[in-house]
Amino acid sequence: MIFDIHVLFLGIACSFIVNKVHSASNSNISNSDSLVLACGAPTNATDNNGRSWIPDSKFLASSDNSIVATALSQDPSLPSTVPYMTARVFQSQFTYTFRISPKARHWIRLHFYPPSYNNLSSSNGFFSVTADGFTLLNNFSALITAQALTQAYIIREYNIVPIQTGILNLTFTPSPAYNGSFAFVNGIEIISTPELFQAAPLVGFSEQSVEVEQNTVQTLIRLNVGGQYIPASDDSGLSRTWYDDSPYLFGAAFGVTSQADENVRINYPTGLPEYIAPVNVYDTARSMGPDPKVNQNFNLTWVFQIDPNYTYLVRFHFCDYQMSKVNQRVFAIFINNQTAFPDADVIGWASAKGVPVYKDFTIQVSDRSGDEQLWVALQPNQTSVPEFYDVILNGLEIFKINDTKGSLAGPNPVPSPLATPMESEPKQFAPSKSRKTGLILGAVGGAAVGFALVIGFVAFLRRRKRMALGESSSIAGWLPIYDSSRSSETGTTISGKSCGSSRISNIGGSLCRRFSLAEIKNGSMNFSESQVIGVGGFGKVYRCFVDGGTEVAIKRANPSSEQGVHEFRTEIDLLSKLRHRHLVSLIGACEEHNEMILVYDYMANGTLREHLYKTKKPRLLWRQRLDICIGAARGLHYLHTGAKYTIIHRDVKTTNILLDEKWLAKVSDFGLSKTGPTLHQTHVSTMVKGSFGYLDPEYFRRQQLTEKSDVYSFGVVLFEVLCGRPALDPNLPKEQVSLADWALRCHSRGVLDDIIDPCIKGEMAPECLKHFAETAAKCLSDQGIDRPSMGAVLWNLEYCLQLQNNPDGPEFVVQQKANDAYAMHETLLTIEENDKISQETEDSSSNEIFSQIINPQGR
């Protein structure tokens, strides 16, 4: 969506006494002065969460050197157009002056959305922000930060000490180090808070503590551990956002999550005000699981990226709603591998079941290498011989404490090579041209996306969004426009040949071989059309012969478009490090004369889709389909948990599941993959990518990418396999266009039988079908948290296979238990397996594990 540009100069310069805005939240805090400003907005406006934002024009202190601007493009992942689509832009130093209560601490939240504004390219947007002598940001680039975090927008939250003068000057200064640099801001929140901090022990220095209440802090992480995302509107009065913790879990040791029973009330004790954290934080938790033997051998560990050279406050929120006695669950708390507390006993602290308690620790992080990470680990304390070897955590917050110079600023994060480039600067959009509004549709997945398909997709999304927001808002502007103009910046890298080539030679050592262009041309009959076996977003896929007869598949970047350079590098980076029986192996690459070519194992039987429908090939048997689903699930499970970082595929679909000559399923096409969150922010949000029909609705709403988005897409694949029809079929009646919706509806009505592929109906054991459909339906749960992990999906598919082979087999008792058991075993399996290239040896080894679980002795 291209927006008209409004350039308004506002010459209002006055300071202003902040109105007391009565917040609509369920706050117990009396007399809060709060101010929620949409910068550059012409009038009062309400965002999608019902929060009202007022224009900032009354708070401009210095003279009229600011510009009001409207963003030139709207990223589909913005939660709301307010406050992100308008900005105030400063080309020289600029100060906002707020009159605030001199006794209270205040949140300062700054919202940045860095597309281009007017004729200013956001790549020049380097600036600093100070508040009452504290440096909040320095040499900050919202663009680079957003790229590195793969987020469209950035929110920074600070909690500032009381200002005696009662006047808060918030100053934006463009960096003098760059010509044409400017500062901008989209939203500012200034909200008074009660005293939230007190002295906290310094880990590693006995008897020392840091008086946090005298410092200004920046919020780095705020997690509802074992629970789900809590939006600002559901916070207990302080408009904080709480995120899911699972992206930060280290390795595969993810433990189990739980929720308090309905009959356990969360009782805030006197002295612990409800604003410390909402009930929703305390009534969910993550613990290790039921098996003490397993628990003895691992730590529940979270890893966060942080800036070195700062002291951090780590706040643990606990509430044990399962145990009721002292010494039932005793554990050690480690921060950065140092003992913060040796024998934590939540009941001991809180004195009763269901009573919240929080503990603060501070830790100094120096700038030795490796110190850009903060590790939080919990380990059952065996020396105190508790009744259960287990740990628990309900919530976690990490704050950065200002340094001696009053600074909180860190360097800009470095965008990882896996990060998606932001929408390029649309330089051609001069104001006069931009009148023409229109939709730019990307060819997602490269396939020809027919208009009918797009319409179907829009209808599908519109319904989803309505469901999500409880309102019918305009859908214009949040179509996936990103793919349309892969940035011109990447274009320059492709022509920088030397850079590209050196890159290839750097990779993977012996794992990735370099092919010469001559060799490839020769083997593919000079890229003959007769050798084309597929077309993807990246370019065409050819069959090719190398080494005098070895058949390979080559993927050639379309030389006429510069799309896909990024995908090319991503695939090389990822695939050269990953080896798995159920992932397509990258053999090598070729980058010569502006050609970019990836060389893979040849998959004799092509894609899964071409064996399911619209094909002349014989249809797959049910048993074969089940095997293929299990194989693909293994591949995805490995991506999610087997490597050092969680890898999220992001484009799971039947054309990305390939079949080799033995019908072994292999997951392919990592062009859109991302590693899980490893960088500074409190969550991983990203621009929506993927394929129509397979997109996780929650990912679309919240832009928080987790591996559960792949689980959703895989659920669509499972139904596609079961029903033998495409994920989206625009030729069908409206309610049937989206397979995900239609299958779910049929499943809930109990008429799924009607849409099962007639070719396989007769072969399915009814129990197997039932379980398979339930598994697929679970994958399609609207909320990520309700979807099973890929490990649990895999377990369930294995179980389906058992049911198919042995329909009279023993009914497995409690489904959820089984999933947990699987999680525990996975922990043992993969916890050691970090960077190492793991080759799943034989199916037999994993089958052993499954049979162990299926005969749950002693559980």
Ligand X SMILES: *[C@@H]1O[C@H](CO)[C@@H](O)[C@H](O)[C@H]1NC(C)=O
Structural contact between residues 698 and 711, judged by C-beta atoms closer than 8 angstroms: no
Please give the distance of CA 350 from its chain centroid, rounded to a whole number. 34
As given in the structure block, the two tokens for residue 236 are 């207990």
Does residue number 18 form part of the binding site for ligand X (CB under 6 A)? Answer: no
Does residue number 601 form part of the binding site for ligand X (CB under 6 A)? Answer: no
Please give the distance of CA 558 from its chain centroid, rounded to a whole number. 30
| Residue 52: CB minimum distance to ligand X, A | 6
Q: Which residues contact 781 (CB under 8 A, 6 or more apart)?
A: 712, 787
- Cβ proximity to ligand X, 231 vs 273, nearer residue: 273
Please give the distance of CA 152 from its chain centroid, rounded to a whole number. 12
Does residue number 373 form part of the binding site for ligand X (CB under 6 A)? Answer: yes
Q: Cα separation of 798 and 850, whole Å?
A: 8
- Cβ proximity to ligand X, 315 vs 543, nearer residue: 315
DSSP structure string for 357-383? EEEEEEEEE-SSTTTTEEEEEEEE-ST
**C-beta neighbour count of 645 within 10 angstroms:** 19
- 450-to-132, 477, 536, 697, 753 alpha-carbon distances in Å: 56, 19, 15, 22, 30
Site track for ligand X across 214-233, x = CB under 6 A: -x------------------
Does residue number 72 form part of the binding site for ligand X (CB under 6 A)? Answer: no
Instruction: Identify the residue among 401, 557, 578, 743 touching ligand X (CB under 6 A).
Output: 401
**Segment 145 to 204, residues that bind ligand X, using CB under 6 A:** 165, 167, 169, 177, 179-180
651 included as an active-site residue: yes
As given in the structure block, the two tokens for residue 836 are 């190492």
Does residue number 309 form part of the binding site for ligand X (CB under 6 A)? Answer: yes
- Cβ proximity to ligand X, 430 vs 499, nearer residue: 430
| Residue 371: CB minimum distance to ligand X, A | 6
Does residue number 377 form part of the binding site for ligand X (CB under 6 A)? Answer: yes
- Cβ proximity to ligand X, 215 vs 570, nearer residue: 215
Does residue number 403 form part of the binding site for ligand X (CB under 6 A)? Answer: yes
| Residue 590: CB minimum distance to ligand X, A | 32
**Segment 94 to 153, residues that bind ligand X, using CB under 6 A:** 95, 97, 118-119, 126, 139, 141, 144
Instruction: Identify the residue among 297, 434, 484, 815 touching ligand X (CB under 6 A).
Output: 297
Instruction: Identify the residue among 79, 162, 348, 406 touching ligand X (CB under 6 A).
Output: 406
| Residue 301: CB minimum distance to ligand X, A | 7
C-alpha dihedral over 481, 482, 488, 489, to 10 degrees?
160
Q: Which DSSP letter does residue 206 get?
A: T
| Residue 178: CB minimum distance to ligand X, A | 6
Does residue number 385 form part of the binding site for ligand X (CB under 6 A)? Answer: no
Instruction: Identify the residue among 332, 347, 658, 764 touching ligand X (CB under 6 A).
Output: 332
Q: Cα separation of 676 and 132, whole Å?
A: 36
| Residue 818: CB minimum distance to ligand X, A | 25
Does residue number 402 form part of the binding site for ligand X (CB under 6 A)? Answer: yes
- Cβ proximity to ligand X, 472 vs 834, nearer residue: 834
Structural contact between residues 100 and 18, judged by C-beta atoms closer than 8 angstroms: yes
Q: Which DSSP letter does residue 91 get?
A: S
Angle between helices 488-495 and 565-575 (to 10 degrees): 70
C-alpha dihedral over 671, 675, 676, 682, to 10 degrees?
-100
As given in the structure block, the two tokens for residue 249 are 């879990």
Please give the distance of CA 358 from its chain centroid, rounded to a whole number. 27
As given in the structure block, the two tokens for residue 819 are 């999933």
555 labeled part of a ligand binding site: yes
- Cβ proximity to ligand X, 492 vs 501, nearer residue: 492
The one catalytic residue among 132, 283, 651, 669: 651
Instruction: Identify the residue among 14, 20, 26, 49 touching ligand X (CB under 6 A).
Output: 26
Q: Cα separation of 243 and 245, whole Å?
A: 6
**Alpha-carbon dihedral sign for residues 524, 526, 531, 535:** positive
Does residue number 830 form part of the binding site for ligand X (CB under 6 A)? Answer: no
The residue among 789, 790, 759, 755 whose CA lies nearest residue 773 is 755
- Cβ proximity to ligand X, 303 vs 604, nearer residue: 303
Q: Cα separation of 106 and 119, whole Å?
A: 35
Instruction: Identify the residue among 213, 234, 274, 601 touching ligand X (CB under 6 A).
Output: 274
Q: Cα separation of 117 and 6, whole Å?
A: 10
| Residue 405: CB minimum distance to ligand X, A | 7
Which residue sits closest to ligand X, CB atoms considered? 406
- Cβ proximity to ligand X, 214 vs 845, nearer residue: 214
| Residue 579: CB minimum distance to ligand X, A | 23
3-class DSSP assignment, residue 711: helix
**Alpha-carbon dihedral sign for residues 783, 785, 789, 794:** negative
Does residue number 234 form part of the binding site for ligand X (CB under 6 A)? Answer: no
Number of residues that bind ligand X (CB under 6 A): 54
Annotated binding site for ATP: 555
Which residues are known to be catalytic?
Answer: 651
Residues that bind ligand X in the complex, under the rule CB under 6 A = 19, 21, 26, 28, 44, 54, 61-62, 95, 97, 118-119, 126, 139, 141, 144, 165, 167, 169, 177, 179-180, 215, 273-274, 297-299, 308-309, 311, 332, 334, 336-337, 339, 342-343, 367, 370, 373, 375, 377, 379, 381, 383-384, 401-404, 406, 411-412
Annotated binding site: 555
